[in-house]
Amino acid sequence: MSRIRQWKTRRNAELGLLAFAMLLVAAFGATVEANQFDEIRPNFWVPAALIGILFLGLHVVVRFTAPFADPVLLPAVALINGIGVAFLRRLDIARAIANDEPVPGFFAETGGRQLAWTLLSLILAAVLLLLLRDHKVISRYAYTLGLVGIVLMMIPAVLPGSISEVNGAKLWIRLGSVSIQPGEFAKLALVSFFAYYLVRKREVLSLASHRFLGIDFPRGRDLGPVITVWLFSLLVLVFEKDLGTALLYFGLFVVTLYVATERSSWLIIGLVLFFGGVYVAYLLGSAIGGPFANFYDRAELWLDPFSQENYTRESGNSYQLVQGLLGLGTGGLFGTGPGAGSPGKVPEVRTDFIFAGLGEEIGLFGLAALLVIYLLIVERGLHAALAVRDSFGKLVAGGLAFTLGLQVFVILGGITGLIPLTGQTTPFLSAGGSSLMANWLLIAMLLRISDAARRPANSIAERISGPKKAPTQLHGAMTEVIKP
C-alpha cells in the first residue's frame, strides 16, 4: 500500500504542476490579447486548454507506464512548450493586424502548426514509453544506433546546398514544403552509442600514464576515441558550416567520457582539442577561404557586429544579430509585456531568435525565469543519472541532460554575442517539428530512466521474474519437491 500511495502522490503532484503550468500559459495569452486588442476576448483560454489536453494525455500514459518517474519533468517542459506555442500565435496575431487581415484561427498559421507538431511529438513520446519498458534494451542496438547517428549527422553535408542550406548552415533536408533537421535525431542515437561504448571501455580509458599539476592524464594510445570524435566534429564545422552543431556533438562525447571515467583530464584534453581546431579553422578561413570561409565570416560578424561593413554587407551581414541585441536591450529588466513589443523586427524570430523576441516582452527577469526552468529540467535529468542503478542508464541520462543544457547555451550564447551565431533551434520554444519531436523523445527517455531510478529494487525484480512467493509458500513448494 505504501508503494501505491507513493506513486499516486508523485503523479498527483505532476498533475497539479501541469495545471499550474497551463494557467501560466493562459495568463500569457490573456496578456497578449489585452495588449493587441485592448481587451481580453472570451475565448482567450482555448489555446491553453487545447495544449493542456494534449499534455494531460501524456500524463495519463506516464501514470500507468512510468508511475515512479520524476513528477517535475513533464510540467516543466509543458510550460516551456506552451509558452512557445502562445508566443508563436502572438506573432501570427500581430502579422494579421498589421496587414488588416482576420485574426487567424487556433489551428492556423505558425501557432497552429506548432500545436500540431506538439501533438505528434507527444504521441511519439507516449509510444516510446509504452514500447520501451526497460531502458537497458537500447544497449542491444548500440552499434546500429551509432551508425544511424553518423549517417543522420553527415547527410546534410553531402547534399546540395539548394536542399540542405539555410542561413549559411547545412543542417536541413528540404523536399518541397517539407523540411527536417536530421541532426536533432542523430544526437539521441549517438548518446546511446557513446554510453554503451564507454561502459565497455571505461576501465581502459580510466588508466593514467603520468601526473601533471595534480591531474592524471591518460595514456597516449587511449586517445583514439576522442581524436576520432574530434575529427568528426571538425568535419561538421567545415562542411555543415555550423559551430554549434560541432560543439554539441563533441561536447556530448567528452562529457559522457568524463562521467564514465571520472577523469577531469579528459575535459582539459577536449577543450584544448576543440578550441584549437576552431582557431585553426578560423586561420584557414582567413588565409585560403574555401570550405572554411563561412566559419570565418561568422566569426568576423561575431567579433564586431555593429561595424558598418558587417552590418551593411549584401549577404551574411550582422543585421539579424544586431536586431536581436537591440530587442533584448529594449526589453530591459521587466520587458514591454507579452504582446506589447515589436519582436517582428527581428529576423527569424520564430526559430533561431525566439529568445530575443521573448526577451523584449518578458525582460531579463522573465528570460532568467525561463532559463531556471531549463536548468531545472537538466538538474532532474542529472538526478536521474545519479540515482539509476546501472552504468548504461547513468551515462544515457547524464548525456541527454547535458545535451539539452549545452544546446540552450549554444543558442543563447549566439543570440547574446557570447559565441558566433549557430543554426541550432531553441528546445521546445522554436517553431518546427524536428527539434520538438527529438526533444520530446529525449524527455520520454529521461522519464523512463527516472522511473527505473525511483522504483524500489524489489519492484524491479518482480517485473522481471514475477512476484516473490511468501516464505511459507516456498517451504511448501520445497517440501513437495523433496517428497519421494
Gap between the Cα atoms of 92 and 436, Å rounded: 19
How is residue 468 annotated by DSSP?
Answer: P
Q: Which residues pair with 212 in a beta bridge?
A: 215
Distance set, CA 7 to CA 2, 16, 55 (Å): 9, 14, 19
Q: Which of 343, 234, 350 is nearest to 292 (CA)?
A: 234
Give the pLDDT score at 476: 39
Give the pLDDT score at 482: 36
CB-neighbour burial class of residue 288 (10 A; exposed 0-12, middle 13-18, buried 19+)? exposed
Q: Give the contacts of 164 (CB within 8 A, at least 6 positions apart).
A: 155, 156, 157, 170, 171, 172, 173, 174
Give the pLDDT score at 176: 74
Are 332 and 364 in contact by the 8 Å Cβ rule? The answer is: yes
Give the pLDDT score at 220: 63
Give the pLDDT score at 474: 32
Give the pLDDT score at 241: 81
Three-state secondary structure along 10-39? HHHHHHHHHHHHHHHHHHHHHHHHHHHHCC
Handedness of CA 220, 194, 397, 463 (dihedral sign): negative
Are 108 and 425 in contact by the 8 Å Cβ rule? The answer is: no
pLDDT tens, N- to C-terminus, the chain (484 residues) = 455 666 677 899 999 999 999 999 999 999 999 999 989 999 999 999 999 999 999 999 999 999 999 999 999 999 999 999 999 999 999 999 999 899 888 888 899 999 999 999 999 999 999 999 999 999 999 999 999 999 998 898 888 878 888 777 788 888 777 788 898 999 999 999 999 999 988 877 776 566 666 666 666 666 778 888 888 888 888 888 888 888 898 999 999 988 888 888 888 888 899 899 989 989 998 898 877 888 888 888 888 888 877 777 666 678 889 999 999 999 999 999 999 999 989 988 998 899 999 999 999 999 999 999 999 999 999 999 999 999 999 999 999 999 999 999 999 999 999 988 887 889 999 998 999 999 999 999 999 999 999 888 665 444 443 444 444 433 333 333 334 3
Amino acid at 368: A
Give the pLDDT score at 177: 74
Distance set, CA 336 to CA 34, 339, 366 (Å): 13, 8, 11
Are 396 and 194 in contact by the 8 Å Cβ rule? The answer is: no
**pTM of the full predicted structure?**
0.90
Give the pLDDT score at 105: 86
SS3 content of the chain, % helix, strand, coil (to 5): 75, 5, 25
Q: Which of 444, 404, 411, 445 is nearest to 426 (CA)?
A: 411
CB atoms within 10 A of CB 306: 10
Gap between the Cα atoms of 175 and 157, Å rounded: 16
Give the pLDDT score at 479: 37
Tell me the backbone φ, ψ of residue 41, rounded to 5 degrees.
Answer: -70, 155
Tell me the backbone φ, ψ of residue 320, rounded to 5 degrees.
Answer: -60, -50
Give the pLDDT score at 429: 95
| Grid cell locating 25 | 500559459
Element (H, E) at 217: strand 215-218
The end-to-end CA distance of the chain, in Å, is 41
